[in-house]
A and B are shown apart, each in its own frame.
Chain A
Amino acid sequence: MGKYYVTIGLEMHCEVSRTNTKAFSSGRNEYTEEPNCNVSPVDMAFPGILPVVNKEAVRMSIMMSQILHSRIPEFMYFERKNYYYPDLPKGYQITQNPPEECVGNGGYIDIEREDGSTFRVDIDNLHLEEDAAQSTHLYDTTTINYNRAGVPLLELVTTPCLHSADDAITYLEYIRSIYQYAGISDADSKKGQIRCDVNISISDDENTLGTKVEIKNVNSFSSVRDAINYEIERQSQLKDEGRYDEVEQETRRWDESSMSTVRMRSKVDAIDYKYFVEPNIPRFKIEESWVEEIKKSIPELPYERKAKYVSEFGITEYDARIIIKDIEYAKYFEECVRLGADAKSAANWFSSQVLGYIYKKDIAITETFMTPERLAFIIKNINEGTISSKQGKELFNLVLEREEEPSKIMETEGMKQMSDDSVLLDIITKILDNSPSQIEAYKNGKTNLLGFFVGQVMKETRGTANPGLVNKLLMEEINKR
């Protein structure tokens, strides 16, 4: 990138979506579009309510802590972070602080880039806390949805150890996939389950640190990238112009509409959260046996699965890396293979066609009509020679366009690879009759002209001819002349 050395630290908030209930209440933890239906008195902070720690959320946080090679404290307790906001019903958030008392302290995770090189991200801390309610600011009013109030939240804080937007995104994507693979969260940014804060500074070289600017509430990975790049540009420009002293230690926010960062407050005006221990939750010991038990239950993680795909299924490293990115992708791919589709073909079709389609439509993999069953059906028919690969692509598009079963479309469209000797022979004879000069040239050694003849046949049959059969018949017929 530019001429300055960039240093980035990330805070990633991920809602724990896989517990039945909320972090400190019996309110249901379930995403729904209907507002204010998953709410207990505790979530709305009615007078007299008390928090009760969700053991399952603690279990998941301990699992994540282990995946990140973090230190797990012997005793666990919670703190109150006090501030007033209408979407914070109690007027304080139950969280963990300081880092050494959090469920994860220190640690690291190794990340692979797309080119196969790796880098290490150092973890400052991982802590378990509760989410606030959700306010929506309308023209002249604000609505509050308490469904989100009290949802367990894991906040993962890195040290300032990242140096490019690309690495930052690669790291975030990998952590998201870990949350999914470990069964902790759907980590779906469309449901607002992931939010990031970005700390960023520039300096002349890696031995000096510049002024840190914090960008709050960046709600998608693409925004993280945009915000980082914008901020590098902004800070670099000031530095170029000799105005680096105007870069202030401050909090900014990412403004989606103007694609820029906007100043919120300076460090001097930082909120004093008046942290103190939550008196309603007694300190509790995290038994070593429990930690061991949780460790044993860590499921296969993305990189392990990628290695398996390459070695067992023989697919390319490139395809495997794409497929493991999202556990739903991996599930889709594995289902295709289970249904009998050739793994290499499935990987190929998935990473090019299926992903291309869902990206274009901006839908989730689980929402497309092209289910693993339908894709596997198409792949099998191609590999068995029933249809040509060109027909396969047509079929793929028609299935999505008409939302009809591929078998039905094959029937109505008469999609079948032409494998009838006599029909093909008629076409071949006609083409050869019209191409005496090419036959001459072929016979004189220009054997690559065979491709020309095959092309003619394919054109004539609109790609439905069985290419193997065409080759065989062409050779025979030319040799006869």
Chain B
Amino acid sequence: MKEEILKLCGESCDIATRSIKVGLSNVDFIYSEALSSSDAIAKFILQPISDIIIDNVVGVSTKTIIENALTGASCKNVNTIDDAIQKIFLGYTIIIVDNKSMIAVETREQLDRGIESSSIEVAITGSKDAFTENFNKNLGLIRKRIRNNNLFVKEVKLGNESNTKIGICYMNNIAEESLVNKVIEKLKQINNDIIIDGGYITEELSKTTFFPQINQTERPDLASFALLEGKVCIILDNSPTVLIIPTFFIDFFHTPDDYYQKNINTTFIRILRFLAFIIAIFLPGYYISITTYNPTSIPTNLLLNLIEQHTTVPFPAFFEILIMIIAFEILRESDIRIPSKVGSSVSILGGLILGDAAVSAGIISPIMIIVVALSSISSLVFSYNSMVNLIRYYRYFVLILAIFFGIYGLFIGFGLLIINLSSITSFGYPYTYPFVPFVKEDILDSLIKVEKKEKKRNPLLAKKKNR
């Protein structure tokens, strides 16, 4: 058995073995040095086994004696070589007794970081803890908030080669069974060799549109809220984010802070975010359309101001704005990739010095910097990367339409945005909920937030009897 396991593991350098004698039996240990903790092996396996006094025991197999002596919390019998190999790569230590029977003892090394505060979805108030790469910790963070036996977790293994553990969480008494089944069914259809992060699943499940149909969160409180609304959460092993299904367009305008502050503040912030969404997509296009096709709509003094600013610039306005947008994209990408210690230097160099120098050199007009900066900053109001990407693509699309067709192009872009939004469903649920279909109860917690008279569950997602 031992030789076979070592052979199947390619005699990898991290696969360690040790042999000892217990009474008359030969006992072998196989474990991965990379995944197992030597302290745990010593404490839960070697120490108890060395304390065994075999002489006094008659008529009991060595395997049973060892099993009874082990102090580890998780000890499992292993019957096949494949199972044993799988357990080794989960951090277990395999004990082979007389080359006949096997026992797996959990001796996993803590390879993940501890629970830290959320770095992307930052909230001023509310809890600070965030999901980590550890499946059990992530599940624990949700269970800590929902201490209820109705929180069901179903396990699925995905990735032909990676064998990633995936947990599908839902509230059995709230979530619709059809939704849960649909999620499981769709997940099983994924045929990838490797699933490392939620991005792989998101990519597979929402290929048809730019709009993010699955929300990713690193906050356990948001995942808990979603579960209580009747949504399904997917926890992936080794992923610090949890996927929420289904997701509606309005969900991206909600922040973690929304539920921890007064309704009026929440409403204000949500409307501000919606304005930011519109500005981020349409402002560059609108600027181009009014300066190149429809100067009629600009007040006289402002028009003269814009003409003066543009006099020294040798490029047409659309070329100027394209230069600026691409420069900002490069700046943003470099800011994300470079180490944080030099990040601030790049921001100063790129944002302040380059911008100022470009204006002084007469390559870019100051108003263009304002337009691009305002549009780009507005898109960064959203912490969801997929939403930022969507805004980016739509901004280019609307900009091209405005370059060719002016204000008409802008309206064509707006029309296509609405058509696109209306045609999307997220796991069978309309993406524009609760506006279309209009659901009065949920409008009160959509773009605005008003205290509901009756606390009801989500009328679209929750089981009929629990609505």
Whether A and B are associated in the same complex: the answer reads no
